[in-house]
Amino acid sequence: MIYFVGAGPGAVDLITVRGQKLLEKADLIIYAGSLVNPELLQFAKEGCRICNSASMTLEDVLQEMEQAEAAGRMTVRLHTGDPSLYGAIREQMDALDQRHIAYTYVPGVSSFSAAAAAVRKEYTLPGISQSVIITRMEGRTPVPDGQRIADYAAHHATMVIFLSTGLLDKLQDELIHGGYAEDTPAAIVYKASWPDERVCPCTVATLAETAAAAGITRTALILVGDFLDGSYDRSKLYDPSFTHGFRKASQ
Ligand code: SAH
């Protein structure tokens, strides 16, 4: 059996209990070394084979998995954050389907959740934003038509932008082009939940200069929107005058 496991955003104790137990049982761990915290490998049992996928191709990864499977060994494929976001997990699952190799998928805490915790904010605020747009700048990986930053900026919803720390000049141009005011609050969250986590508050117009001043070039998320600052409406859920399935209004 192959287990795809979300490693969480960085802090060793932000992997799920299920994920940690699987790491402890694995005969082979293939981990995404560019972002997974290597301290998680302390959970591996003695004799476990450990491969860093940073220097491997999809074919190499599949070969390791097939060999382990043929020998009756258990594999954990450890992906950063939650594997459903920019994890390149689908192509692995499809290849395993073709080979009739069984797999299970264990979710993880994404860095976008850890980033909200780092800035101590809520992405969805009544009257401000009820949607979160998770996206990235077009880089060497293209973005389909209609899904560019400027298209999404027009919605003025909360935005969480992955994989774009090296493209901040372009990113801020696109955000402003798409309709965000220059002084819209933004934040750069570097290595959320890691011991060297850093939060740099700024505005949409100062993203590039803020990152440059802080020396941040990778492993960061860009948060954009009025959820970072300013007023909002109180939630209905905890409003005394609001009745719902679990509570009657008191006024
Ligand atoms: N599946 C992962 C994302 C993988 S893409 C997840 O759910 O988090 C890799 C990108 O994620 C990085 O370029 C960076 O933009 C972001 N990222 C991953 N871990 C991060 C962290 N701890 N803090 C800030 N950004 C992070």
CATH assignment at residue 78: 3.40.1010.10
Indicate whether this model's pTM tops 0.75.
yes
Query: Looking at residue 176, what is its pLDDT?
Result: 97
Residue 169 φ then ψ, to 5°: -60, -50
pLDDT in tens, 64-77: 999 999 999 999 99
99 plus 44 within the same structural domain: yes
Rounded distance between C-alpha atoms, residue 168 and residue 182, angstroms: 14
| Per-residue pLDDT tens digits for 76-99 | 999 999 999 999 999 999 999 999
Q: CATH no. for residue 211?
A: 3.30.950.10
Report the C-alpha gap between 95 and 62 in whole angstroms.
Answer: 8
Closest residue by Cα to atom 18, ligand 1, is: 111
Shared domain check, 84 and 125: no
Evaluate whether residue 250 is within a structural domain. Answer: no
Write the burial class of residue 18 (CB in 10 Å: 0-12 exposed, 13-18 middle, 19+ buried). Answer: middle
Whether 114 is in the pocket of ligand 1, judged by its Cβ within 6 Å, is yes
Ligand 1: centre distance to CA 70 (Å): 33
- If asked whether residues 100 and 42 sit together in one domain, one would say yes
Does residue 251 surpass a pLDDT of 70?
Answer: no
Does the Cβ of 77 fall within 6 Å of ligand 1? no
Asked if residue 237 is part of any domain, the answer here is no
pLDDT score of 233: 83
What does the pLDDT average to over 10-18?
Answer: 98
Q: Assess whether pLDDT exceeds 90 at residue 168.
A: yes
Identify the domain containing residue 87 by its residue range. 2-106
Count of domains observed in the chain = 2
pLDDT grade for 158, boundaries at 50, 70 and 90: very high
**Does 201 map to a domain?**
yes
- Of the residues 106, 123, 155, which one is the last residue of a structural domain? 106
Residue-level pLDDT at 129: 95
**CA–centroid distance, residue 81 to ligand 1 (Å):** 7
